[in-house]
Structure 1
Amino acid sequence: MNLRDIKTKQKIQAIKTKDAKGNIQHFIKQQTINKHSRKVDKKEEDSVKSNPQLQATNKVSVAAKQTVIESKHRATKFIKQKHHEYKIKSDNKKPIIESGHAVQPQRISYISKAKKHVVNKVNASKIKQSTEQFVSKPIVQNTTHAIKKSLHIVKKSVSTLNTLFSFGTGLILLIVITLFIGTFSVLAQDGGSNSEIVSLSEEVIAYEDTIRKYAIEYDIEDYVSLLQAIMMQESGGKGNDPMQSSESGYNTKYPRVPNGITEAEYSIEVGVKTFSDCIKKANVKDPSDTERIYLALQGYNYGNGYIEWALTNFGGYSKYNAQLFSDNKKQELHVSGYGDPLYVDHVMRYVGITFRGGTNPNFNNLEAWVTKNPYARIGLYGQCTWFAWGRFYELYGYDPGFTGNGWDCVDELLAAHRDKFERADTPKAGAVFSGIGKNHVGIVLKVDGENITIQDGNYDGKTNTFEEAKTDWQTNTYTLSELRRRYGGIVFANPK
């Protein structure tokens, strides 16, 4: 009997859930359908609406839509960047051509693995069809189409979930929808660094003057803190090859094998020169250009070949393509491991907040602005709270803990992270501020004597779409007295 033909109230036997191992089969076997037609009274409808399980399901569907929307945005941005490189005819049925070569089987294999658990459970044939179109047709024509089709499947799945909930299979489909969202997270990983800050070791700090010396020589003095972070990740400042640069092409004195260099200063010189080359190949504009800095960092770990590959095939760095490159190399070289796909996160945890967050927000960081941000939903996009939450997450790599109004954010941050922040009347760089007389919140980027540089959002005073919200923010410098007048009093949560 088809679900669409059922207009009767369903009668479901009690389901025993203690035996978790047999839960799905048990749910299916224990349910029966009452074929006698009866109308559902209003009280029963109200009880369904207040059902916490159904509410949880609705939250999942909203998250799914947000993830799909942002995935579509990233794909559209990529298409615009790469449009001039692809000359596609409407009748062209050849494989996607990237750098003069057909798409490698490894790419198809990787995406297939990412979707395998979803394909086996929900609308297998439709999802598989969308996947095949995504990887086999010209990218400009079909990327947006595939995402739209996936959104249609999500909507249909959620609709089916609402219908089947009373049959006892809602829990099963809820899990499937969650897995579906997880798949989109794999395919649309952001370029953000979301690890917490860790201090440099004494050994790395001791090398600061040497690092700066070669950074000046190779014209990357502005990146000294980043070079220190690289050394911290590579060796913690220990050993005779603290930059682990023995295998670099710039090593001309020692064997190009792991730890081949046995002179610490030469290791630093080679490492700095190597990273300088990565900065140039990644087209990094300045220290605020976080997206290209991530590309250069991953290139330091994988070698410069990754930078050209990522730019040609994806337009830049992402966690997804960093993993894909490693997987491809493992198959190509027949090895069990290749580099560190999470190298960017691992390095950025050693960089201070001013550098790691950049001077401008990175809206490609999905965790900061979409998937983890509690204000990332209809009715709250573009609010000052959405902007402050996202910037805090970019700077510190963890949830600030505020979910309320702007003037409550400092109190909520202090309650969540009392060990890391303290209340103050004057700010430090990296502080969160709340207005007292005006319901507002923002971030302090810099303190220079009496001048305080802040960053905040919602200048148009209304809720926006995600696209509109990305332009509705400003960076401004005021004196402390001006800030107090502007917000009718102000309080800061300063990093300790």
Structure 2
Amino acid sequence: MKDIKTKQKVQMIKTKDSKANIKHFIKQQTLRTRNTDKDTRQESISSSANVQATNSVKRTAKQTFVESSYRTTKFIKERRNEHKIKKQNTLPNRNEIPPQKASYISKAKQTVVNKVNATKIKQSTEQVVSKPIVQNTTHAIKKSFHIVKKSVSALNTLFSFGTGLILLIVITLFIGTFSVLAQDGGSNSEIVSLSEEVIAYEDTIRKYAKEYDIEDYVSLLQAIMMQESGGKGNDPMQASESGYNIKYPRVSNGITEPEYSIDVGTHTFSDCVKKANVKDPSDTEHIYLALQGYNYGSGYIDWAISNFGGYSKYNAQQFSDMKKQQLNVSGYGDPSYVDHVMRYVGITFRGGTNPNFNNMEAWITKNPYAKTGLYGQCTWFAWGRFYELYGYGPGFTGNGWDCVDELLKAHPDKFERSTTPKAGAVFSGIGKNHVGIILKVNGNNITIQDGNYDGITNTFEDAKKDWQTNTYTLDYYRSRMGGIVFANPK
């Protein structure tokens, strides 16, 4: 009788444990299949990295968090119920697991482990945490989005290994997503006037800019001088350590002849422009790379292109940190050099450039119209363009014909109302609900930049193409808009 009783007890435990474990692992397999189908469907629908970044990253991260919380709670409840069942069916020795049960658990776990591509999971997490692997900001967003998707599909299996690892993956996922979005490719600095000393050197700067074939970049050279020295001292371009300095010691302030400093500095920046593949003054993305190269040395340009595909604020900081460690020094260059130089570039130069849609703050993260999905509207375009040109938000959030009034209310110390425009002004139509930016004023001719030529709200990808730069006579455009009012920079 005793043998029979023992046999029944073991049989009951074995049957119960088999059902519980089989049910648990079948659920995991079903969930993984559903997520795999979801990934395939998402990949077939997605058309571009930028669309994925703007329309899907936040939603995917939110869904991941909700799904993770739900499944974590469910997993804990299931384990808690299993624990209660174990206590009800007490074994003679609670610390001893029957051989049959141990064998089954081992096989079940091994089955799941074999189905998990551990290498891919490890690579996904390491790519987010350890080092940036993207080629530029657009690729960074695309890569982050794919990491999010892979992590979501992998979470189903990871639940069988404990809640600690689950939480680590979720935290890593959020850090990766939003740190990538923070890698802004634009310059967001407010405009500051040049000093009288720098202005006095304009003819000399233009002379050497023409000699080294970068005459279109005189404004940038003046801004570099302003950042380096304010136009003061005997080495106003701080070019003593350049390889083109063959007359004076290559130490800080080694050059003692201002014109020679301008010669060497202009020659150095000319090389940076060529090495960064700058096409023209509208190519801000590569101009930023050239500027940071002037500060760090041209080696940064090769490094940034090789590892990231170009400049970003994030990799500028990383390069500085890397050099500090290599050279065992407390500081290396200026990681914010691009912003510091661009604040001295006037609206005429900035206004002649095209929008840089890699500037995430201007077009996505800080743009109030982007937050409500109004990509392609004239208000969305004018807000982003203003932010690029001035380095701060214009303060308007309403309709096109209200934008000038809202801008004047937000920045009364910087702008004034007028019926005649200046370069850098914002205009609002009086009879037509429209807003745009004045780039140039030449007598009665105005060059404007505005968006929403197709008259509809677009995706971000389509909105990037729905803008124009045109020149009209002021009289014609005033008639076309049913009257215009301007917010001119003071």
1:436 to 430, 446, 455: 430
1:372 and 2:356 correspond: no
Larger Rg: 2
In structure 2, C-alpha distance between the alignment counterparts of 1:130 and 1:370, rounded to whole Å: 26
1:386 and 2:380 correspond: yes
> Which amino acid is 1:416 matched to?
A
1:261 and 2:255 correspond: yes
Does the 8 A contact of 2:133 with 2:307 survive in 1? no
C-alpha spacing 1:309/1:378, structure 2 compared with 1 (3 Å):
same
Paired position in structure 1 for 2:290: 296
Paired position in structure 2 for 1:90: none
C-alpha spacing 1:182/1:482, structure 2 compared with 1 (3 Å):
farther
> Which amino acid is 1:328 matched to?
M
1:483 to 471, 477, 480: 477
Does the 8 A contact of 1:127 with 1:150 survive in 2? no
After superposition, give the CA deviation of every residue in 1:186-228 in whole Å (9 maximum; x if it has no partner).
6641221111111111111111121111111111111111111
Structure 1 residue 259: Cα displacement: 0.8
1:229 and 2:206 correspond: no
Paired position in structure 2 for 1:415: 409
Does the 8 A contact of 2:51 with 2:461 survive in 1? no
1:189 to 183, 187, 191: 183
Paired position in structure 2 for 1:69: 53
In structure 1, C-alpha distance between the alignment counterparts of 2:211 and 2:179, rounded to whole Å: 41
In structure 1, C-alpha distance between the alignment counterparts of 2:235 and 2:140, rounded to whole Å: 47
Does the 8 A contact of 2:352 with 2:439 survive in 1? no
2:276 to 279, 282, 290: 282
Structure 1 residue 354: Cα displacement: 2.4
1:329 and 2:323 correspond: yes
Does the 8 A contact of 1:133 with 1:142 survive in 2? no
After superposition, give the CA deviation of every residue in 1:249-281 in whole Å (9 maximum; x if it has no partner).
000011111111111111111001111111111
1:347 and 2:314 correspond: no
> Which amino acid is 1:365 matched to?
N
1:148 to 142, 146, 150: 146
In structure 1, C-alpha distance between the alignment counterparts of 2:134 and 2:439, rounded to whole Å: 39
Paired position in structure 2 for 1:313: 307
In structure 1, C-alpha distance between the alignment counterparts of 2:483 and 2:337, rounded to whole Å: 43
* TM-score, normalised relative to structure 2: 0.68
Does the 8 A contact of 1:357 with 1:391 survive in 2? no
Matches within 5 A, 1:141-220: 144=142, 146-150=144-148, 180=174, 184-185=178-179, 188-220=182-214
Count matched residues: 363
Alignment gaps of 5+ in structure 1: 1-64, 74-125, 158-172
C-alpha spacing 1:211/1:133, structure 2 compared with 1 (3 Å):
closer
Does the 8 A contact of 2:133 with 2:308 survive in 1? no
After superposition, give the CA deviation of every residue in 1:430-482 in whole Å (9 maximum; x if it has no partner).
11011111111111111111111111111111111111110111111111121
Structure 1 residue 136: Cα displacement: 8.5
In structure 2, the residue corresponding to 1:311 is in which secondary structure? Answer: helix
Q: What RMSD over aligned residues (CA atoms) do the two structures have, in Å?
A: 3.3
In structure 1, C-alpha distance between the alignment counterparts of 2:226 and 2:339, rounded to whole Å: 13
C-alpha spacing 1:320/1:232, structure 2 compared with 1 (3 Å):
same
> Which amino acid is 2:309 matched to?
G
Structure that is richer in helix per residue: 2
C-alpha spacing 1:182/1:474, structure 2 compared with 1 (3 Å):
same
